[in-house]
Amino acid sequence: MKPIPRGYIVPSAAFCLPTSCVEAYVTPEGRPRAGDVMYGRIDTLAHHRELENRSGRIHRLTSSTAGLFVYGNRYATDAFEALVPDEQLDYVDLVARSGVIGRVQVRNSRVGMPTTVKVLGQVVDRDGRPVNTLDHSLVAPQGSVKKQPRSKLILVVGTSMNSGKSTAAVAITWALSTMGHTVRASKVTGTASLKDILHMNDAGAAVYNDFTYFGHPSTYMLDEGEVLRIFNDLDLKYANNPRNFWVVEIADGVLQRETAMLLSSPDVRSRIHRLVLCATDAFGAIGGLHILEDTYGLFPDAISGIVASSPLGIRELSNYTKVPAFDAAGPNLKALSEIILGSPA
């Protein structure tokens, strides 16, 4: 075992990891697993030039930055699809600013090549056991019985990555908090990034969390049972008070694998109090409305996202649907109150 020199960064992908279990690093053996924690240095700077630490601070990377990195998969239509490699590698790709590493499978041609990390070794604890974030969940198993009534679920979905879901979730959290309601906020799927849930906290969420609280650096390629467990355990732990609201964002678009798993589940559909669909443009929003109705039997209560920041986009939408739209980038309290509560603020 070799000691890890001071000065390394602990990224947000290792949010749940106690620093006390980081003792040393060894030559990695066996097939890598999602959640395995590696010690390494930045080798070649390319697409990602920053690293988000476990407190949310953004570090500027250099070609010698040392840190802990976490193996994980990633699904990002605007960037990369990446998977945990089948074998131990000396060099891997940094596939998310949160410190997730893997091997890029496909890349959006509008982004650069991935930043690469030289793997120096696998992190072990004082007993020499390999460290994996999945062994350090912050959310204990919650059972299966959901007492009724429960917190009102405001579910935010989108047509794609970067359609405006996080901004909409923040606007809803702000509106409810401003009206005096207690809000708890979660992001159930995606790739580790503290930014989204920290913004929900900034907007007034009393409690905020995501899948990294379970030790997952990403939810891409998890089996359906685990995806639903994340949703249900967050529901059981944080959404018990019927006077509260639970604002939940699901990453990516309604066509994506894990999003489809959640929307297909009666556990999720039966919990929805209000459903918000986010889209980048009117045509995408109309397609999203059809997919939600035809595939899942769901009817959104509101449309938001990038399209709703454009008066022309809203005008185009109004020719095809009567579903109200709200601009999350410049939220109107009265309009949001009528959508969420059914009455003006």
- Give the residue-averaged pLDDT of 282-303: 98
Cα separation, 252 vs 227, whole angstroms: 14
Let me know whether 201 and 324 are in one domain: yes
> Domain check: are 21 and 108 in the same one?
yes
Tokens 């909409």 identify what position? 168
35-62 mean pLDDT? 98
Of the pLDDT bands very low, low, confident and very high (cuts 50, 70, 90), residue 131 is very high
Render pLDDT for 233-274 as a digit per residue (tens, 0 to 9). 999 999 999 999 999 999 999 999 999 999 999 999 999 999
Residue 68 lies in a domain: yes
Residue 107 falls inside a structural domain: yes
Span 39-65, average pLDDT: 97
Report the alpha-carbon distance of residue 62 to residue 149 in Å, rounded: 52
Q: Give domain status of residue 123, yes or no.
A: yes
3-state helix, strand, coil in the chain (%, to 5): 30, 25, 45
Report residue 270: phi and psi, to 5°: -70, -15
Same domain, 325 and 253: yes
Q: What's the CA angle centered on 72, arms 93 and 27, to 5 degrees? A: 70
Q: What's the CATH number where 311 sits? A: 3.40.50.300
The token pair at 124 is: 């072990």
- Verify that 190 and 332 share a domain, yes or no: yes
What is the arithmetic mean of pLDDT over 304-320? 97
Mean pLDDT throughout 23-27? 97
Answer yes or no: is pLDDT of 226 > 70: yes
C-alpha neighbours within 13 Å on the C-beta side of residue 327: 11
Q: Does residue 143 form part of some domain?
A: no
pTM reported for the whole predicted model: 0.96
Is the per-residue pLDDT at 344 higher than 80? no
**Residue-wise pLDDT tens digits, 157-188:** 999 999 999 999 999 999 999 999 999 999 99
Residue 284 in any domain: the answer is yes
What average pLDDT does this structure show over 105-128?
A: 97
Q: Which domain holds residue 60?
A: 2-135
Residue 330 domain-assigned (yes or no): yes
Would you say residue 203 lies in a domain? yes
Does residue 204 share a domain with residue 126? no
Instruction: Answer yes or no: do 189 and 334 share one domain.
Output: yes
Q: Is the pLDDT at 5 greater than 90, yes or no?
A: yes
Closest CA to 179 of 338, 56, 3: 338
302 and 261, same structural domain?
yes
Select from 73, 102, 135 the last residue of a domain: 135
**Has residue 343 got a pLDDT over 90?**
no
Q: 114 and 161: one domain?
A: no
The percent of residues in the chain predicted with pLDDT above 70, rounded, is: 100
Count of structural domains, the chain: 2
pLDDT band of 66, cuts 50, 70, 90: very high
Could you give the CA distance from residue 13 to residue 35 in angstroms, rounded to a whole number?
A: 9
Are residues 114 and 47 part of one domain?
A: yes
CA distance 180 to 217: 34
Report the interhelical angle of 333-340 vs 165-178 (nearest 10°). 90
> What is the band of 133 on the pLDDT scale with cuts at 50, 70, 90?
very high
Same domain, 61 and 170: no
| Mean of pLDDT over the chain | 97
Query: CB–CB of 50/60 below 8 Å?
Result: yes
Percent above pLDDT 90 for the chain: 97
Among 135, 166, 197, the domain-final residue is 135
Interval 304-333 mean pLDDT: 97
174 and 274 within one domain:
yes
Q: Looking at the structure, do residues 105 and 207 belong to the same domain, yes or no?
A: no
Residues 6+ apart with CB under 8 A from 254: 157, 158, 159, 260, 263, 288, 291, 292, 295, 296
Q: How confident is residue 345, by pLDDT bands cut at 50, 70 and 90?
A: low
Residue 114 has pLDDT above 90, yes or no: yes
Please, are residues 318 and 311 in contact by the beta-carbon 8 Å criterion?
no
